[in-house]
Chain A
Amino acid sequence: MLQAPQSASRADQTLSLNMKLLAHHELQGFGGLGEGMGMQLTSDGRRILWLAHESAPKNFSGVDVTDPQNPKLIVQTELPHMKLRSNSLDVVGNIMVVAYQATTVGVKPAGIDIFDVSQPEKPHLLSHFDCSGPYSRGVHAVWFVDGRYVHMSSGAADFQPRNPLDDQFYRIIDIINPEKPVEVGRWWYPGTREGDEAPPPPRLPTQFDTGFRTHNTNVFPEQPNRAFVGYIDGGAVVLDISDMKNIKVVSQWNHSPPFNGFTHTVLPLFDRGLWIVSDECVQDNGADWPKLVWVVDSRNEANPVPIGTFPAPPYDAFAKRGGRFGAHNLHENLPGPTSFRSDTIIVGSFFNAGVRVYDTSNPYQVQEIAYFVPGAPKLSPAGAIQLNDVYVDDRRIVYTVDRFTGGLYILEMNI
């Protein structure tokens, strides 16, 4: 019998190019994951992938991925209450930093936890650094790669934003003594804090106004005096942090307006004088399209010049597939021993357009070389996959997570 025509662009259809699924783990039914992914190499040689959950009730999970075809959930922790999300984490050696952001201002606890995970099955809390306050929701994202400084997007008790959307700014916390974290630096977009001399920055049109606050705040050992900050509607900001008490702007680049805001990640490719800058899509059904990944020539720090964008996944196939469609997280060339590092191959997560791999060897003509779009996970409210974050290990195994129910997908690249 002739069946009705079926389009492969249906959300239940898995799409792939040069990527193979090795394993899928639903994390015991709590497969809604945020944008915190870190890999620990334990003293007994295991690889533990730490994952921050997108929303309550779960806090974080540890998955043993030593054998990537046979991932094992070894620990899953709970949040103290339902008005909290962990969303972000990073791990260096046996120290893990987890972010906590509340659903509204004034809720406690909100800040960061520092854990000793030398026994990964039993994470041991060393300290909590409080970032709650009458105008603060706490911490959205952390960057912790050197074992000492936590660079983060956070509110603070003493920080009153002029606009409630601008509540999170750049803070540096020194955890040389992990039991006594102390703030050693901060910077916020001039004009966003009550009492600033600078006028408030002009806002994007209401439907795209997501805030002048920080998202990713990355600092790499290649250039420890620079922080690469995705400042959401404030664009890409690079800061000179050589004097943490006196942070200065060295670069600023913003595509919005005319684009629709939300600069998420600024990933420098040091040897090439480039930044790869990703947006985040935050609206369903393509309402804030296009959300892109940009190539910016940064050879002159004072004058960053955009030279191209990554070829975006096809709008027709994905915009109405369900949920969000567009750029989000990139694998960030973390300095640790377990992270893949490349100054040409860039891997990103694109919500319903899956995980995608690009070759930027020619920065003016970036090529898409691989992708994997899992079919819609069971019970997903978006009705389609929503890949939220991605981590690539030194074995070039790709780990990517769904925002709602799908959990962890482990993939192999054939590139």
Chain B
Amino acid sequence: MTWSRDVLAGKIPVTLVTGFLGSGKTTLISKLLLHPDMRRVAVVINEIGEIGIDHDLVTMSSENITLLANGCICCSVRTDLQETLRDLFAQRRVGEVFDFDRVIVETTGLADPAPVVQTLTSDTLLAAHYRLDGLITLVDGLHGVGQIDQQTEAVKQIAIADKILVTKTDLTSVDHLETLCGRIRQLNAQSPIEFIRQGEVDPKRLIDLGLSSSRASLKTLQFLGESLTDGAASADGAGRYLGQRSAAHNAAVKTLSLRFTEPFEWLSFSSALELLTNLRGPDLLRIKGIVNVDGYPVVVQGVQHIIETPVKMDRWPSDDKDSRLVFIVRNMELDVIRNLFQAVGAIKSSFNSST
């Protein structure tokens, strides 16, 4: 009776779509709602009136839920997102709404996505039934460079994204897009960038960004990202990303890759992580990685001070059993982080040897 459950498989994935004001979220969402592949997807938006859905395409409508002809459920936020996601799950379970398989949430333009992530991890009902699949950030192809220069929120939204969609690419030049992509890469070295126009995007491109199973597979490696496996996360941490891209602008945001050969004890590792989030939470934009805890692989992810529940994998996804972590941080030095993790390990081991 050793078979055990995949702790992630049963959870409904949630994709957050964020982006600075005017970056094209409403256009994207209104196109997405009508896409034929949106069956069994619930889309949570701020204001249904903004979207302007053709009545011919509405098959059912209630106070805040509209069912569309393609099987997509469009749900406007009533009081807050927490309540809305709870309601949606409850209604799904009693059969009041069709069984949706995933949720896409549109965040408001100025909103910091971190509180949404916190809601998903701290609300026990939501944490039991949903998981964060990914953060998608829309960047205005026309005004993105200016926003990165002037708006710290825009910088953060890009830095924490799992995928970046550059919009309005039909309104700008190739040169400008190149400059913009260069600026994006300084803030976020790893996440894929895609160009879209008029909000046209295949819903499949917005999903399966996160860890969907605690059973290791090729997908686990994809989720962990190239930088964790191609050796770029070298012992000095200054992988090719950082070295090449610490340009003048926004040098404060950095991607740091760390690799540890010695396995951690969970207590040491979590103490270090806790210390880091307690002291520098706002500057830890994103953490992602796989940690060797007494030989077992544990996937760790976090957005700012919120660390999601670590996931113990059933086995290592490849032969590489080193702990590999990527931090996207603001105003922090690589050595500080590395030394911290080494120090807790050292304290623990010296304690062990003296007792």
Contacts and interface: CB of A to CB of B under 8 A. Distances in A.
Contacts of A7: 95-96
A359 B60 contact: no
B334 interface: no
Contacts of A314: 93-95
Nearest to B12: A17
B10 A271 contact: no
A8 B97 contact: yes
Interface string B89-102: 00011111111000
A15 B60 CA distance: 18
Nearest to A394: B3
B8 to A, nearest CB: 10
A9 B95 contact: yes
B353 interface: no
Contact of A414 (B9, B93, B128): B9
A13 B94 CA distance: 12
A392 B328 CA distance: 45
Interface size of B as a range: 20 to 34
B62 interface: yes
Nearest to A414: B9
B94 A9 contact: yes
Contact of B62 (A5, A10, A15, A367): A5
Given A7-B96, A369-B5, A18 B61 contact: no
A415 interface: yes
B354 interface: no
Interface in B1-53: 1, 3-6, 9-10
Given A342-B1, A345-B5, A16 B99 contact: yes
Contact of B1 (A5, A8, A341): A341
Interface string A395-415: 010000000000000000011
A359 B5 CA distance: 8
Contact of B95 (A317, A343, A344, A361): A317
Interface in B87-142: 92-99, 128
A361 B128 CA distance: 14
A119 interface: no
A6 B59 contact: yes
Contacts of A198: none
Interface in A1-26: 1-3, 5-10, 13, 15-18
A367 B5 CA distance: 12
Contacts of A5: 60-62
B56 interface: yes
A395 to B, nearest CB: 11
Interface in A317-374: 317, 341-345, 359, 361, 367, 369-370
Nearest to A343: B1
A44 interface: no
Contacts of B98: 8, 13
B204 interface: no
A129 B10 CA distance: 46
Interface size of A as a range: 20 to 34
A415 B60 contact: no
A414 B97 CA distance: 21
Contacts of A17: 10, 92-93, 99
A342 B3 contact: yes
Given A1-B56, A271-B1, A342-B1, A415 B128 contact: no
A243 interface: no
A367 B60 contact: no
B127 to A, nearest CB: 12
A316 interface: yes
Nearest to B59: A3
B58 interface: yes
A3 B55 CA distance: 10
B6 A8 contact: no
A6 B71 CA distance: 12
Nearest to B56: A1
A367 B128 CA distance: 9
Given A1-B56, A342-B1, A316 B10 contact: no
A375 to B, nearest CB: 11
Contacts of B6: 414-415
A344 B4 contact: yes
A8 B96 contact: yes
Contacts of A271: 1
Nearest to B9: A414
Contacts of A16: 99
A415 B10 CA distance: 6
Contacts of A317: 93-96
B108 to A, nearest CB: 29
Given A16-B99, A271-B1, A415-B5, A2 B94 contact: no
Given A15-B95, A317-B94, A367-B128, A3 B5 contact: no
Contacts of B99: 8, 15-17
A6 B62 CA distance: 10
A244 to B, nearest CB: 28
Contacts of B61: 2, 5
A236 to B, nearest CB: 22
A8 B60 CA distance: 11
Contact of A369 (B10, B55, B56): B10
Interface string A74-86: 0000000000000
A85 B67 CA distance: 45
B278 to A, nearest CB: 29
A6 B98 CA distance: 10
Which of B3, B55, B92: most chain A Cβ within 10 A? B3
Contacts of B55: 2
A5 B61 CA distance: 7
Given A2-B55, A6-B59, A13 B95 contact: yes
Nearest to B212: A414
Interface string B56-95: 1011111000010000000000000000000000001111
Nearest to A4: B60
Which 4 A-B pairs have CB atoms at the shortest separation, nearest pair first?
Answer: A9-B95, A317-B94, A314-B94, A8-B95
9 contacts: A3-B60, A8-B96, A8-B98, A15-B95, A15-B99, A17-B99, A314-B93, A344-B4, A414-B6
Interface of A: 1-3, 5-10, 13, 15-18, 271, 314, 316-317, 341-345, 359, 361, 367, 369-370, 396, 414-415
Given A10-B95, A317-B93, 6 more contacts: A9-B94, A17-B10, A17-B99, A317-B96, A344-B1, A370-B10
